[in-house]
Structure 1
Amino acid sequence: LMTVAMTLIPFHRRGTIMGLISVVMAVGPALGPSLAGAILSFTSWHGIFWFMVPLIALAGIIGATKLTNIGEQRATPLDVLSVILSAVAFGGLVYGLSSVSTILDGGQAAQIAITIFSTGILGLGLFVWRQLALGKHDRALLDLRPLAVPNYTFSLAVLMVLFAALLGAMNTLPLYLQGSLLVTALIAGLVLLPGGLLEGVLSPLFGRLYDRFGPRPLIIPAMIIVTGAIFWLATVDEYTDVWLVVTIHVIFSVGLAGLFSPLMTTALSSLPSDLFGHGSAILNTLQQLAGAAGTAVMITIYSNISADAQAQGVAETTAVADGANSAFLVTGFLSAVALILSLFIKKIPSEPTGLDVP
């Protein structure tokens, strides 16, 4: 989607269009927990997946009948070894990152998880080596040259840290709401709805502001807002009013609206057009890895702190709040790292050409 948008849209309007695309990315996660909570209120968790089947089928039908190819197509050989290495690398890494708690528990299951994770790291090293070798002959499955562009790399780094913090916090927040404030799954989902909808409304506005002012006047203040909101979340307890949590999440979402569209636009606009596809693929892949890592680490922190507190005789609602506080605190420090990295992002004066990339 991002590659198509970057290819079709003129340089001076990319922020606006990416802002519109961000509406989908904002509203989807906002509606998801609310719908899931509603579904779980009258059926099992299987119903969530059955609900998705017709939506996915409809999207496939519309895509197959309405979308057309753009740009110049060329026949390129598929390197089977690269495909295998990518599956081993990213599959092993995602599995290992999602098994952090299993690894910490020890035992045979931990040894298996460590072996798979180590295999993923080795596979990643071999995959990178293979792509660098094939890239010399313009045959790489994933061209790594975008990583040689500083503005792309810094934007990517901020997005990775942000995704780790975002998914970690957003997976911990419903657990806190249900375990400490004792709200239902439906209410926990509805708590996230106002912020997500507001983010969807504001994303096009921030996209237009990006086209006018560039990335820095948007990204740096937005990172400050996000970081402050997460540290505020780290102060909640079992007596916190639900409406205060809604307020904090709304502030958090306002910051996100000023980040995702400008960051993605800056990252891809820093590349020449022939690297849009590879730059988008790298961005999407590393975002997912960062999200998996953030979720695994935050949930592990939450679970361990909560379990330790309960083992010491602390009430369950208080223990859950303690675990959530610790997870949010770590998330806040991650956001602070992203804030520092965002200071290195620069405005792009004109559309790059192939000569701008080594």
Structure 2
Amino acid sequence: MPAAIQDRPTAQAARTPLVVRLLVLATFVVILNETLMINAIPRLMESMHVTEQAAQWVSTAFMLTMAAVIPISGWFLQRVTTRQGYAIAMCVFLAGTAISAAAPHFSVLLVGRIVQAAGTAVMMPLLMTTLMTVVPEQDRGRVMGNVTLAISVAPALGPAVSGLILQLGSWRLLFVTVLPIAGAVTYFGLRQLNNIGEPQTGSIDWLSAALATLGFGGLVYGLSLFGEGDAKLGPTVGIVVAGAATIAIFVLRQLKLQRTDSPLMDLRTLTHRTFALSLALMCIAFLAMMGSMILLPLYLQNLRGLTPLQTGLLLMPGGLAMGLLGPTVGKLYDRLGSRPLVLPGSIGLVLSLAGFTQVAADMPYWQVLGLHTLLMLSLAATFTPIFTLGMGALPPNMYAHGSSILGTLQQVAAALGTALVVTVMSARSGQLVADGAATAAAQLSGMKLAFVVATVLAAGTIVAAALLPNRTSETSDAVAH
């Protein structure tokens, strides 16, 4: 079948395979929920009578579950059909959404968010693996441009969408709105979806599964605790170290299992230089995006006095621009390769973050809008080529493992980005307040320093971009010789 497709590139280029379009739509709906609750924290505190630290768990628990479940998804997706994987993921997500909408207590809401995240964790690897299987190399950039909409724009639009919905009433409306949409996507997806490839038989190494859950989950949990005060710093560092140590044991276990071709997460994917470089670039870029998503709402609401709705509307154009540019970037990648896109995108990323280091109490809103839009457009120019190039550098039997590693490290990068900017901001502002500075001025100074750190880290994307090959075929040639 792939040979037949390559014989008709022009005809194939006219449309994206139905299975991929259905999976993109489903993935967009489920990933949107990762950041949907960010603006609902104050409403949740009032309704459920919980502290701000407790309320933050509706987002932390979601991210934590994603980090724990995604490592197992590579094994899972190799052993079920496309329809089975889709049905299980979406039904689990629907169950979690229903539990969250009807939750009588905060603990039940947390359970609902964990169930939601478990379904979401399977969707992105399922989408990436299917895309790499059914789309020929010459069309992958165009199709991956549509995927960018789901995996990058959805979390960027989450706070804006929630800000609009919260104007109408309770935080429960967020789940009530998502439920019928996700239900319709599930129903029509199952009616139209065909199986791609054949499932493989094999048993799971439960020790690896436990190590992955404890290691990646513990690392993300520990990182999410940073910024909660010096009193918790010792235990927080301990959790992060324990998580990292568990991941190290997990890695050793996978290296041993690779000798019998039975790893839970095949780390031989990282021996492919292009995939490893793409992964590093993606992590840094995602870290920068999530860091800015935390800092900008804090700046606009706490220091500028905007409502969640006004904040969402101000940041929405950047998210929409990112989504609209995704397909165009994909087509340009198919025609020009990665370098003409990723290098300017990396430079734009650094420039936008550098612009935010000059943030002030009276910075014009058009400047905030312009810098945020530049940030989102730069990420759009970066994400699509590196996802396509990185996954394309792997052999087909490693697609599931590659997408699993990519999804897991994306969650770790998100947690690290959040922890980093919050810790830097809190430490700086706390020091200035102790020295007698006004609270608002101290917070602003902390935000500036956090953006400086993010800018320095983002500079690493320029180096990685310069080292990437222009096309996957160059990677194949390098490996062959």
Tell me the TM-score normalized by structure 2: 0.69
For 2:331, the aligned partner's letter is R
For 1:333, the aligned partner's letter is V
CA distance in 2, matches of 1:334, 1:276: 28
1:219 and 1:258 in contact (8 A); partners too: yes
Partner of 1:21: 147
> Given the alignment of the two structures, is residue 284 of structure 1 paired with residue 407 of structure 2, yes or no?
yes
CA distance in 1, matches of 2:294, 2:375: 15
Partner of 2:193: 67
For residues 229-273 of structure 1, give each alpha carbon's deviation from its aligned partner in whole angstroms, at most 9, with x where no partner exists: 110011010011112100111111221110010010010011111
Q: CA deviation at 1:119?
A: 2.6
- 1:91/1:26 CA distance change after superposition, 3 Å: closer
Partner of 2:300: 177
> Given the alignment of the two structures, is residue 82 of structure 1 paired with residue 208 of structure 2, yes or no?
yes
Q: CA deviation at 1:348?
A: 2.9
Range with bigger deviation, 35-44 or 339-348: 35-44
CA distance in 2, matches of 1:196, 1:94: 25
1:180 and 1:237 in contact (8 A); partners too: no
Q: CA deviation at 1:165?
A: 1.2
For residues 151-209 of structure 1, give each alpha carbon's deviation from its aligned partner in whole angstroms, at most 9, with x where no partner exists: 11111101111111110111111101112222111111111111111111111111111
- 1:105/1:56 CA distance change after superposition, 3 Å: farther
CA distance in 2, matches of 1:121, 1:306: 29
Partner of 2:240: 117
> Given the alignment of the two structures, is residue 96 of structure 1 paired with residue 219 of structure 2, yes or no?
no
CA distance in 2, matches of 1:249, 1:111: 35
2:269 and 2:398 in contact (8 A); partners too: yes
Partner of 1:342: 465
- 1:21/1:334 CA distance change after superposition, 3 Å: same
For 2:378, the aligned partner's letter is G
1:88 and 1:119 in contact (8 A); partners too: no
Partner of 2:138: 12
CA distance in 2, matches of 1:149, 1:318: 47
Q: CA deviation at 1:280?
A: 0.8
CA distance in 1, matches of 2:432, 2:396: 54
For 2:257, the aligned partner's letter is L
CA distance in 1, matches of 2:422, 2:186: 33
Q: 1:225 aligns with which of 348, 352, 357?
A: 348
For 2:252, the aligned partner's letter is W
Q: Could you list the runs of 5+ residues in structure 2 that have no partner in the other structure?
A: 1-126
Q: 2:164 aligns with which of 32, 38, 41?
A: 38
CA distance in 2, matches of 1:55, 1:196: 21
Partner of 1:205: 328
Identity %: 38
Partner of 2:281: 158
1:237 and 1:318 in contact (8 A); partners too: no
For 1:299, the aligned partner's letter is V
- 1:118/1:29 CA distance change after superposition, 3 Å: closer
Q: 1:327 aligns with which of 446, 450, 453?
A: 450
Range with bigger deviation, 300-309 or 234-243: 300-309
> Given the alignment of the two structures, is residue 128 of structure 1 paired with residue 246 of structure 2, yes or no?
no
CA distance in 1, matches of 2:239, 2:186: 33
CA distance in 1, matches of 2:312, 2:426: 20
Q: 1:261 aligns with which of 365, 384, 387?
A: 384
- 1:297/1:183 CA distance change after superposition, 3 Å: same
2:297 and 2:311 in contact (8 A); partners too: yes
> Given the alignment of the two structures, is residue 105 of structure 1 paired with residue 230 of structure 2, yes or no?
yes
1:222 and 1:259 in contact (8 A); partners too: yes
SS at match of 1:34: helix
CA distance in 2, matches of 1:112, 1:47: 36
For residues 20-59 of structure 1, give each alpha carbon's deviation from its aligned partner in whole angstroms, at most 9, with x where no partner exists: 1112334423432122223344545555455444444444
> Given the alignment of the two structures, is residue 317 of structure 1 paired with residue 444 of structure 2, yes or no?
no
- 1:43/1:312 CA distance change after superposition, 3 Å: farther
CA distance in 2, matches of 1:328, 1:111: 25
Tell me the TM-score normalized by structure 1: 0.91
- 1:301/1:114 CA distance change after superposition, 3 Å: closer
CA distance in 1, matches of 2:216, 2:465: 26
Matches within 5 A, 1:290-309: 290-309=413-432
Q: CA deviation at 1:217?
A: 1.3
CA distance in 2, matches of 1:328, 1:157: 20
> Given the alignment of the two structures, is residue 196 of structure 1 paired with residue 319 of structure 2, yes or no?
yes
Partner of 1:139: 262
For residues 281-309 of structure 1, give each alpha carbon's deviation from its aligned partner in whole angstroms, at most 9, with x where no partner exists: 11111111011001111012222323333
Range with bigger deviation, 292-301 or 303-312: 303-312
CA distance in 2, matches of 1:62, 1:311: 58
CA distance in 2, matches of 1:178, 1:265: 37
CA distance in 2, matches of 1:310, 1:39: 36
How many residues are paired up? 354
Q: CA deviation at 1:124?
A: 0.8
Partner of 1:238: 361
Q: Could you list the runs of 5+ residues in structure 1 that have no partner in the other structure?
A: none
For 1:163, the aligned partner's letter is F
2:393 and 2:472 in contact (8 A); partners too: no
- 1:110/1:316 CA distance change after superposition, 3 Å: closer
For 2:291, the aligned partner's letter is G
1:203 and 1:257 in contact (8 A); partners too: yes
Partner of 2:116: none
1:26 and 1:197 in contact (8 A); partners too: no
CA distance in 2, matches of 1:157, 1:193: 27
Cα RMSD, aligned residues only: 2.3
- 1:73/1:25 CA distance change after superposition, 3 Å: closer
CA distance in 2, matches of 1:66, 1:90: 35
CA distance in 2, matches of 1:110, 1:54: 42
